[in-house]
Structure 1
Amino acid sequence: MGLLSFLVFSPLIGFIVFCFIPKKEQTFIRNSAVVLHALPLLASGLVLFQFLDHASLAEKINWITFEIGEKVLGLHFELDVDGFSLVLILLTTLIGFLAVITSTWHINKDNRLFYQLMFLLQMGILGVFAADNLFLFFIFFEITLVPMFFLISKWGGTDREEAAFRYVIYNGLGSMILLIGIAAIFVLAGSTNYAEVQHYFAENGNPTLQLGLAFAFLLAFGIKLPIFPFHSWMVKVHVHAPPAVVMIHAGVLLKIGAYGLIKFGVGFFPDAFDSLAILIAVLGLFNLLYGAYLAFVQEDLRSVFAYSSISHMGIVLLGVSALNTAGIQGAIFQSVSHGLIAAMLFFLVGSLLARTNTTLLKKLSGLARLTPLLAGFFLAAALANLGLPGMSGFVSEFTVFLGIFKEMPILAAIGTLGIIMTVVYMLRAILNMTYGTYKSTYGEVQDLKASEVVPAVVLLICIIGIGVYPNAIGHMLQLTIETILGIGG
């Protein structure tokens, strides 16, 4: 077993171990979950060191071979990483580890099953980013749907069943479209290996066919991102899923949409995506402004953050539509930055819920007096989300708009309104909650404990680190971006 295989399947170790732990051993289950979730984090660190050392990480095992007419076709178990996928793997293992720590304070029923589902979810996400062919990518993509459904439906809030079913229906629709596209590519190219598919479409240009496949990928991954009007499922999940699960969903799962659009959409069909650039830019602009406006009028903190995610995914679409180095790099930076910021925001939401049992803004006020640490971290995350210089949000938004202003200056100028609206809705929500007259409806509350401060500090360090030194991840992305954009000539 190679290092990438160990990374992808390391969560299964935890899943199997938990099968033999009695349900009544709650404290042992919680502690074991944290320790066993550290395995993928350590494995991703080893992968990073090998990648920086330019060592080969590729793995290939002949899996399925069959004949169609005179053709002999094969589907293989292939793993490999580039700069883009490695950055998202690191994001996955970090947020997954911190999410499990968060869950140890809030999940009080069927703990063993909860952590087993978390292990399966992390395995699916790691497989998505480590896969080196479309068929394997699709299998791992489908694996993520099952544990997420049960995590939402069993441990979520009041409308958890509706949120879970919306999640499955919308993402299942995206999966169906994606499978049709992958099957068409397999029949045409005779392979689902990323490099071979890229080479095939670079050498065999059928503009109409490529445009159809590009649109299918845009729709499939647009649902995952999500693009308006396929966004309602995501709002439900953000509001009704457990905070630890939302950390992974907002922090990582949404990024599969951005990953697919950039690596497969732009990577396989650059000319077709060039034809769709205006459409993608308009969709991104609508996401940005629509999400920002609805975030401004929400009265529940989780709804504010949910619509904020829709708005920020619009920035990703604007970067993709630019189809230049700055735009694509900005879209990737925005994916990573939003992942860290969203994870921090929902980590803090979990701590807030544990203390006040509410996220309604009208019931929250004056928390800065009682919980200065919690209020301070909320304000820091809000400043990162609105793009304060020195934080990751500023770097990603600046780079995206640098790319889009070069290609579509009018749309870019309109898009800056979304940045201004972000400032308004984030400060409205956070300042109303932390300042003002203290309301005693939730009683006296304690500030963050030392064990809660650590995850918040880790995420904040990452956010500031990328903001101050973007090249920490930028140098890993350069070759990937050049490869993607070089396909179109």
Structure 2
Amino acid sequence: MTFSYFLTFLVFSPLLGIIVLAFMPRTNEKAIKLVGFLATLPALILSLAAYNMYHTGTDLAEFTERVRWITFGDFGSVDENLFTVFYELGIDGFALVMLVLTAVISTLAALASFHIKKEWKGYYMLFLLLVIGMLGVFTAQNLILFFIFFEVTLIPMFFLIGKWGFFEKEKAAYSFLIYNGLGSAILLIVIVLLFARTGTTNIDALRFLMNTPDAPLVTPISDSLKMGLLIALLVAFGIKLPIFPLHSWMLRVHVEAPPSIVMLHSGILLKIGAFGIIRFGMGIFPEQFTDLAFVLAALGVVNLLYGAFLAFIQDDFKMVLAYSSISHMGIVLIGLGALNEAGIQGAIFQVVSHGLISALMFFLVGVMYERTHTSHLSNLGGLAKGMPIAAGFLLAGAMASLGLPGMSGFVSEFMAFLGLFREWPILAAVGTLGIIMTAVYLLRAVLAITFGRADREFDGLTDIRTFEWAPVLVLMGLIVLIGVYPAVLSQPLQATIETIMLGIGG
């Protein structure tokens, strides 16, 4: 049994919402918000259906779609697929998990977007276009299609930041565009070189050609060129992740973008960087990746410590969470640099775990900002008195982020460091300082907000409202589910991790 165009319907399902919104009057706020929210549901339903079908025994290969799309030249006498780009979508266990994560956070971010105060029609049309790009990135089976979806995410993000952001929104939007545009340019150069040398952009074909001696390449690729291509990929996706020192643009976005958009940015878009490093860096160039493993692990420790120490001295809670994201992405690099099953599994768990935790924390930031119009720690003291439920979820989110057992953060951090201790114990011991600092800066910030002394009084604060219950309950439920039953992730990821380990000789 094959599921013809299942993934196409999943990826492009938000397009129906864009079409409906295009014909709606721009002043009908309630209807626009409702349509914007409902338009995210088909992708959520289909992704959950795919996850359920996988658990009932369906082979993920049955979701594959492949249609001839663009042909460069006539090479039929040699190979009819040579220099041909196909429209091809497919998923493995890792992509399936990321699809579900994207669909869940997109739906919850659409609910969080009910706080948007102006020009709702344009906002939700761009929001749904962003969702299409994110879903497409995780299903694309060739580099050109991946690049197209990758670029689709940049355009709506630029306008969503620059139009609906806060005080320095234009500066943040242009910083986002310049840095990510540079990463895209580097990625495009890598894709063009690979296409010119191999005649294909199919990811599985490239994995075979790059790792098979005497493979039938159009033009031979030396080991030094492979290393150069891998470094270029690490830079391109390192900007997205981000890896220190390519991180400054991300701080501005986290502070200036609307909290609902930061839920997507921190929860999903940053994870495209990790997804690219794992799928393309480790998958296509495993031998060269092995040579750079220590460097990557060391960069992970730098990320972890740098983000943790700077988060400790911030007064703006958005900046605390921004530096926290940098720090937690260091754990992803640590796990990948370990080059063993525990480390790689921990890295992928961290991708999912941080996506859920950061989405929860920024949703709560949006809830607090909507009531108080500030995110500074010194102005938010004693918030537990007026908003006890929100304060409770904020503390629970902080516990998950610092790695409390029973929550997803503990599972991912434990496995990543277990992998690193097996390979480079001294480096891992240094990295544990970041784990200690994570507890320090998160408890400092959250306790200052909930029980600290306030510089101002807030009268008549309302706690979690009706539509705000769904995001906090769903995200917290998933965080706890992964923490107490990690198999919900490890089962679909097992085949992906085995493929990676086989490629790197593990």
Which TM-score applies when normalising by structure 2? 0.95
Match of 1:377 among 393, 397, 404: 393
Residues 244, 299 of structure 2: 8 Å contact kept: yes
| Alignment of structure 1 residues 231-310 onto 2, 5 Å | 231-310=247-326
Question: What is the aligned partner in structure 1 of residue 216 from structure 2?
Answer: none
Match of 1:458 among 466, 470, 474: 474
SS of match in other structure, 1:267: helix
Question: What is the aligned partner in structure 1 of residue 184 from structure 2?
Answer: 175
| Alignment of structure 1 residues 59-208 onto 2, 5 Å | 59-67=65-73, 72-104=82-114, 106-204=115-213, 206-208=222-224
Question: What is the aligned partner in structure 2 of residue 483 from structure 1?
Answer: 499
Shift of 1:68: 7.7
Match of 1:2 among 5, 16, 30: 5
| Alignment of structure 1 residues 304-453 onto 2, 5 Å | 304-453=320-469
SS of match in other structure, 1:78: strand
SS of match in other structure, 2:467: helix
Counterpart amino acid of 1:60? R
SS of match in other structure, 1:203: coil
Residues 4, 47 of structure 1: 8 Å contact kept: no
Distance in 1 separating the partners of 2:199 and 2:39 = 40
Give ranges in structure 1 of 5+ residues lacking alignment: none
Match of 1:216 among 221, 228, 232: 232
Distance in 1 separating the partners of 2:223 and 2:340 = 21
Shift of 1:123: 0.2
SS of match in other structure, 2:431: helix
Distance in 2 separating the partners of 1:438 and 1:370 = 12
Shift of 1:473: 1.0
Distance in 2 separating the partners of 1:477 and 1:463 = 17
Residues 390, 468 of structure 1: 8 Å contact kept: yes
The question of 1:16 aligning with 2:26 is answered no
The question of 1:58 aligning with 2:61 is answered no
1:314-356 deviations in whole A, cap 9, x for unaligned? 0101111111111111110000000000000000001000110
Counterpart amino acid of 2:26? K
Shift of 1:464: 0.3
1:276-324 deviations in whole A, cap 9, x for unaligned? 1121111111100000000000000000000000000001011111111
1:149-170 deviations in whole A, cap 9, x for unaligned? 0000000000000000000000
Distance in 1 separating the partners of 2:28 and 2:413 = 46
SS of match in other structure, 1:157: coil
Instruction: Tell me how many residue pairs correspond in the alignment.
Output: 488
Which TM-score applies when normalising by structure 1? 0.98
Question: What is the aligned partner in structure 1 of residue 489 from structure 2?
Answer: 473
Shift of 1:442: 3.5
Distance in 2 separating the partners of 1:418 and 1:269 = 30
Counterpart amino acid of 1:40? A
Counterpart amino acid of 2:200? S
Distance in 2 separating the partners of 1:361 and 1:170 = 29
1:458-483 deviations in whole A, cap 9, x for unaligned? 10000000000001011100001111
Match of 1:33 among 33, 36, 45: 36
1:112-168 deviations in whole A, cap 9, x for unaligned? 110000110000000000001111000000000000000000000000000000000
1:381-413 deviations in whole A, cap 9, x for unaligned? 000000000000000000000111111111101
Shift of 1:50: 3.1
Question: What is the aligned partner in structure 1 of residue 217 from structure 2?
Answer: none
SS of match in other structure, 1:450: coil
Distance in 2 separating the partners of 1:142 and 1:450 = 36
Shift of 1:484: 1.6
Distance in 1 separating the partners of 2:499 and 2:122 = 42
Distance in 2 separating the partners of 1:173 and 1:378 = 36
Change in Cα spacing, 1:297 to 1:438, as seen in structure 2 (3 Å) is closer
SS of match in other structure, 2:73: strand
Task: Pick which of 50-59 and 321-330 moved more.
Answer: 50-59
Distance in 1 separating the partners of 2:210 and 2:453 = 62
Residues 202, 488 of structure 1: 8 Å contact kept: no
Task: Pick which of 37-46 and 78-87 moved more.
Answer: 37-46
Residues 103, 244 of structure 1: 8 Å contact kept: yes
Residues 214, 265 of structure 1: 8 Å contact kept: yes
Residues 341, 385 of structure 1: 8 Å contact kept: yes
Distance in 2 separating the partners of 1:373 and 1:242 = 22
Task: Pick which of 78-87 and 35-44 moved more.
Answer: 35-44
Distance in 2 separating the partners of 1:437 and 1:183 = 57
1:156-199 deviations in whole A, cap 9, x for unaligned? 00000000000000000100110111111112221111110000
Distance in 2 separating the partners of 1:441 and 1:150 = 35
Distance in 1 separating the partners of 2:148 and 2:453 = 52
SS of match in other structure, 2:71: strand
Give ranges in structure 2 of 5+ residues lacking alignment: 214-220
SS of match in other structure, 2:460: coil
Shift of 1:51: 2.9
Q: Share of identical aligned residues, percent?
A: 53
Counterpart amino acid of 2:287? D
Residues 378, 455 of structure 2: 8 Å contact kept: no
Distance in 2 separating the partners of 1:451 and 1:487 = 46
Shift of 1:487: 1.6
